[in-house]
Each structure stands twice: as structure tokens, then as C-alpha cells.
């Protein structure tokens, strides 16, 4: 007589498979295993002064708080792991629950997030911005 799995067995096996496959987009701390380290993200002219740009594939947001000063942060919101969507009016904005982060240091400008965005390392060489 063949073994027929119960609904519980199927659900447990499916959940374990999803976890081992990396379902969920990362470990939640924004560090990720960036395979694109060293690759050019953008030209300095692509990042507006007092603004920034979100790079979804690399899970990073690059800002230029002042002329010639570039910063980079994880694009994963520290509230519930959504990807931030835009940089506007001096903040990095998450569309899920309205958290906002300062472009200068990634600190929380508006809750519900309580932790800052983790900083990412970048290098600026001439007019090229690269993940370090």
C-alpha cells in the first residue's frame, strides 16, 4: 500500500524547500552576498545632489547629500524588509509602511522603522561609483 503524505507533511516539506532555496530575498540585514562588488553602479552625474537612486538588483541605494559626497546604504527597509522605492526631499522612502531615512547617514527620519539602514561600502574613482 503506497504512503500518502498528509497535508502537514506536504506543507512542512514545501516550507523547508523554500527556506533552503533562499526564498524571501536575503537574511534581512541588508548585507547580502553581492556578486556585483567592484562593478560600476553609476556615474557620479547619475546621482542628484540632495537626492539619490535605488539600485534594486544590487540591493543598495546611493545618495549625494552634498556636492561630491556620496553615501550608500542597504535598500532593505529595517522595519519589515521591503525594498525602499525612492529618494525624495532628503529622505530614502519605503512604500510599504511609510518609513523614511535620512540621506546623510541612513538614520530614521520617520517611523515605523526604528533602526537605520545599514551602510554599504562604495568607492568613487573619478566619475565612477562602484560597490566596494
Q: Contact at 8 Å (CB) between 9 and 16?
A: no
Write down the mean pLDDT value for the chain: 83
- What value does the mean pLDDT take over residues 40-52? 96
Q: In Å, how far are 37, 104, 130 from 127, measured between CA atoms?
A: 17, 20, 10
Q: What pLDDT was estimated at residue 23?
A: 34
Q: Which long-range contacts (CB under 8 A, 24 or more apart) does 9-13 make?
A: none
- What value does the mean pLDDT take over residues 38-53? 95
Q: What pLDDT was estimated at residue 40?
A: 92
Residue 17 in this model has a pLDDT that exceeds 50: no
Residue-wise pLDDT tens digits, 92-113: 999 999 999 999 999 999 999 9
What CATH superfamily is the domain 26-131? Rieske [2Fe-2S] iron-sulphur domain (2.102.10.10)
- What value does the mean pLDDT take over residues 100-129? 97
As given in the structure block, the three cell numbers for residue 64 are 549625494
Residue 38 confidence class, pLDDT cut points 50, 70, 90:
confident
- What value does the mean pLDDT take over residues 117-125? 97
Q: What pLDDT was estimated at residue 14?
A: 46
Amino acid at each position: 500500500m503506497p504512503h500518502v503524505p498528509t497535508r502537514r507533511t506536504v506543507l512542512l516539506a514545501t516550507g523547508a524547500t523554500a527556506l533552503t532555496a533562499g526564498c524571501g530575498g536575503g537574511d534581512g540585514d541588508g548585507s547580502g552576498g553581492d556578486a556585483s562588488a567592484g562593478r560600476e553602479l553609476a556615474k557620479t552625474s547619475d546621482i542628484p545632489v540632495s537626492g539619490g537612486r535605488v539600485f534594486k538588483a544590487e540591493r543598495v541605494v546611493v545618495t549625494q547629500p552634498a556636492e561630491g559626497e556620496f553615501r550608500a546604504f542597504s535598500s532593505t527597509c529595517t522595519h519589515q524588509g521591503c525594498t525602499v522605492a525612492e529618494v525624495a526631499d532628503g529622505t530614502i522612502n519605503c512604500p510599504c509602511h511609510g518609513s523614511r531615512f535620512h540621506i546623510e547617514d541612513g538614520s530614521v527620519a520617520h517611523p515605523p522603522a526604528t533602526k537605520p539602514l545599514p551602510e554599504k561600502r562604495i568607492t568613487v574613482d573619478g566619475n565612477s561609483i562602484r560597490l566596494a
